[in-house]
Amino acid sequence: MKVALFVPCYVDQLYPQVARATLAVLEARGLTVAFPMEQTCCGQPMANAGCETDARATEERFVRTFAEYDAIVAPSGSCVHHVRHHFDQLPQTDAVRSVRARTHELCEFLLTLPDVAPPPFPFRVGVHVGCHALRGLRQGSPSELGPPQDGPMQQLLRRMPGIQLVPLDRADECCGFGGSFAVDEAAISARMGSDRVADHRRHGAEVLVSADMSCLMHLEGIIRRQATPLPVMHVAQLLNGERP
């Protein structure tokens, strides 16, 4: 199986440690993983701002770059959601259709592989579920549809010895990042973020973990402005044996 790593643009530029952890986790499972250098972004920043036409070149690049791979794995539910659900403006060629079908969010992809012994993580973890993974990719089930069900991220986390997932008052409310929403509606975005952080703090989380670094970028920005620190980590870093 030819596996390619897709590293979202902001992860590549701002969180290289998350991309390295993702690569390490995949390689630890015996996979040979390529990182095609022609990749840039999935196109979501423009498309979600209403400018799909401006996203077209980026989306075409994505398809071109990854067409030859059997699996394209990304440490982001949001980008994968864009590829799977919003690549509609492109002519649906074989390449486009196969790239859409073969692009996977990291956690769901890991669950298809043989289990490896997870590293221990003896911390109280506040899990932030990204909305695009949860309601977009239907990873797990949101609190609207019944008692919340774990997605692949929580399933992987629960296997880690010593880990404790803290209960939250609002298990799956949006953090308020939302791409350009974060700056266009800055006041509401920040309010949503600080409400999320407060929920995690109230329940004694020692580290805030998500499978989407974009949510964490926003939440970490809010935490760092506050007096008390609270480390944030991508789930790939935990699976790679890293500690806060």
Partner 1 sequence: MSSTTHARAAEAFSADAVRAAWHDQALWFVRAKRDQVTHAIPEWEALRTLASGIKAHTLSRLDTYLEEFERNAKANGVTVHWAANAAEHNRIVYDILAAHQAGTLVKSKSMLTEECQLNSYLEAQGIMIVDSDLGERIIQLGGETPSHIVMPAIHKRKAEVGALFAEHFGTSPDEDDPATLADAARGPLRAALFGADAALTGVNFAIAETGALVVCTNEGNADLGAHLAPLHIASMGIEKLIPRVADLGVFLRLLARSATGQPITAYTSHFVKPRPGASLHVVIVDNGRSEHLGRPDFREALACIRCGACLNTCPIYRRSGGHSYDATIPGPIGAILSPGIDLARHASLPFASTLCGSCGDVCPVKIDIPQQLYRWRQLVARGGHLGAPKRRRMRWLGGVLGSRRWYEFAGWMGRALLRVSAHAPWLVRRTAWGRERELPMAPRESFRDWYKRNRAA
Nearer to partner 1, 56 or 124 (CB): 56
Q: CA 43, CA 53: separation in Å to the nearest integer?
A: 10
* Nearest to 178, CA basis, from 192, 164, 167, 166: 192
28 part of the interface to partner 1, by CB under 8 A: no
* Shortest distance in whole angstroms from residue 207 CB to partner 1: 17
φ and ψ at residue 192, rounded to 5 degrees: -65, -45
Nearer to partner 1, 16 or 122 (CB): 16
Residue of 99, 166, 177, 210 interacting with partner 1 (CB under 8 A): 177
Residue of 164, 206, 217, 231 interacting with partner 1 (CB under 8 A): 217
230 part of the interface to partner 1, by CB under 8 A: no
- Tell me whether strands 71-74 and 124-128 are parallel, antiparallel or unpaired: unpaired
* Shortest distance in whole angstroms from residue 155 CB to partner 1: 21
Torsion angle, alpha carbons of 61, 62, 68, 74, to 10: 160
Which 33-72 residues touch partner 1, going by CB under 8 A?
35, 37-41, 43, 45-58, 60-61
Buried b (16+ CB within 10 A) or exposed e, 94-130: ebbebbbebbbbbbbbbeeeeeeebeebebebbbbbb
Nearer to partner 1, 65 or 121 (CB): 65
178 part of the interface to partner 1, by CB under 8 A: yes
Residue of 222, 230, 233, 238 interacting with partner 1 (CB under 8 A): 222
